[in-house]
Structure 1
Amino acid sequence: MISIFIIFAIFILYNINRMTNSLCLQKEIPEERQPKVFRTINILVTILLISSYIEILFA
Structure 2
Amino acid sequence: MVSVIGLFIAFTVFIIYAINRMTNRLCVQKEIPNERQPKVFRTINILILILLLSSYVEILYT
Q: TM-score range by the shorter chain?
A: over 0.9
Q: Which of structures 1 and 2 has the bigger CA Rg?
A: 2
Between the two proteins, what is the percent identity of the paired residues? 71
Q: TM-score, normalised on structure 1?
A: 0.99
Contiguous gaps of at least 5 residues in structure 1: none
Report matched runs for 1:1-20 at 5 Å. 1-20=4-23
2:47 corresponds to 1:44: yes
Q: TM-score, normalised on structure 2?
A: 0.95
C-alpha displacement of 1:2: 0.2
- How many residues of Structure 1 are paired with residues of Structure 2 in the alignment? 59
Contiguous gaps of at least 5 residues in structure 2: none
Q: Which amino acid aligns with 1:36?
A: K
CA RMSD in angstroms, aligned pairs only = 0.2
4+ runs deviating over 4 angstroms: none
2:26 corresponds to 1:27: no
How far does the alpha carbon of each residue in 1:13-41 deviate from its partner, in whole angstroms, 9 at most, with x for none?
A: 00000000000000000000000000000
